[in-house]
């Protein structure tokens, strides 16, 4: 992967995305795509996803996040492209999160 194609995005997903297996579903999808980062519930009922990797692959994940697993009802996914931080080595579920 060339340095110019390495990207990172923060995606905040709204809707019925907690209590429906959304985080585990995101972890499987992102890991399968070879992305690094994390997914976590936010206290206000939303889910935050941070992903690092090839920009086109992150865009693929974003499309999947907007669909979600069968029991979820995604209303909105807000994407913010950010400067990649310390490159993470895996994609994980995090179990604590605030509202931002």
Does 98 fall in a domain? no
Q: Tell me 2's DSSP state.
A: -
Alpha carbon distances (Å) from 93 to 2, 5, 25, 56 = 27, 25, 10, 22
The CATH number given to whatever domain includes residue 23 is 3.30.70.100
Structure tokens at 5: 């194609």
Domains held by the chain: number: 1
Question: Where do runs of H (alpha helix) occur along the chain?
Answer: 22-33, 55-67
Does 99 fall in a domain? no
Q: What is the pTM of this model?
A: 0.90
pLDDT (0 to 100) of residue 85? 82
Does 37 fall in a domain? yes
pLDDT (0 to 100) of residue 67? 95
* Domain housing 7: 3-91
Catalytically active residues, by annotation: 23, 41
Could you report the per-residue pLDDT of 25-38, keeping only the tens digit for each? 999 999 999 999 99
Could you report the per-residue pLDDT of 52-92, keeping only the tens digit for each? 999 999 999 999 999 999 999 999 999 999 999 877 899 99
pLDDT (0 to 100) of residue 99? 46
């Amino acid at each position: 992967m060339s340095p110019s194609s390495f990207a990172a995005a923060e995606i905040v997903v709204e809707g019925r995305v907690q209590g429906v297996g959304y985080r585990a579903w995101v972890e499987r999808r992102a890991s399968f795509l070879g992305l690094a980062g994390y997914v976590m519930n936010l206290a206000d009922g939303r889910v935050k996803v941070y992903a690092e990797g090839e920009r086109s692959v992150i865009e693929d994940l974003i499309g999947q996040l907007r669909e979600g697993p069968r029991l979820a009802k995604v209303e909105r996914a807000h994407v913010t492209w950010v400067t990649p931080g310390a490159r993470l080595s895996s994609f994980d579920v995090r179990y604590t999160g605030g509202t931002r």
